[in-house]
Amino acid sequence: MDRDLDDLIDIFAHEFAASHRTRLLPGGEEPLYRPAVLPGDWHEIVFRHDYFQSALHEIAHWCVAGAARRQQLDYGYWYDPDGRTRARQDEFERVEARPQAVEWVLSVACGRRFAVSLDNLDAAEPLDAGSLWRAVHREAVRCLDDAGEIAGLPPRALQLARALATHFRQPWPLPRDYFAPPSGTIFGPSGLSGMVSCGGVNSTV
């Protein structure tokens, strides 16, 4: 198990257990958000196995989801499985750009590298990760103002990012240059064929 995973779970609990009655749970075969059924029950964010990055990804979706969405199983979305056509993949990337940008911010706050996820291993056509990198990068840049403050983040994401940066000894505000696109991949003439990681100079993984 990742040595930092218990810390992440504890920090999330410290920030949101009382205010949002929400907890972060490892061990899922697939990620899932389960809203509370009865008053006093917990809302649960289940991430895959003991994967740190899966936890950050699912937290990012929770941070983006509004109050009404957080009352629905998996926020009321239907998952489109692997094997998506190009058109369906384009729609997936449109929806995923915002949460993956938030995941990028949370990753940097933890001193971790970030990789976009196409989540379509069984695609019939070759995939170009460059298009998703461009969309995620645009969203990440929108989170940062000229002073480097993360003003465009959803409030819960901002709250958690601050706490994570403090715990993992990352600078705050997070340096804008930590969100530079991977060299020669986003705006270059050729796209990516897979996932590429990007993080700050203090990244630990």
Boundaries of every domain in the chain: 5-76, 86-198
Predicted local distance difference test score (pLDDT) of residue 177? 86
Q: Are 74 and 33 in contact (CB under 8 A)?
A: yes
| pLDDT of amino acid 187 | 43
Name the β-bridge partners of 114.
Answer: 198
Residues of the chain with pLDDT under 70: 1, 79-84, 119-129, 145-150, 183-205
pLDDT number for residue 185: 52
* Cis upstream peptide for 181 (omega within 30°): no
Predicted TM-score (pTM) of this structure:
0.84
Residue 169 has a CB neighbour count (10 Å cut-off) of 8
User: Can you give the pLDDT at residue 200?
Assistant: 46
The pLDDT, as a whole number, for residue 130 is 76
Instruction: Give, in order, the Cα–Cα distances in Å from 149 to each of 106, 113, 140, 161, 172.
Output: 14, 20, 12, 12, 8
Q: Look at the block and give the residue holding tokens 């590429």.
A: 196
Question: How many Cβ atoms are within 10 Å of 7's Cβ, its own excluded?
Answer: 15
pLDDT at 125: 57
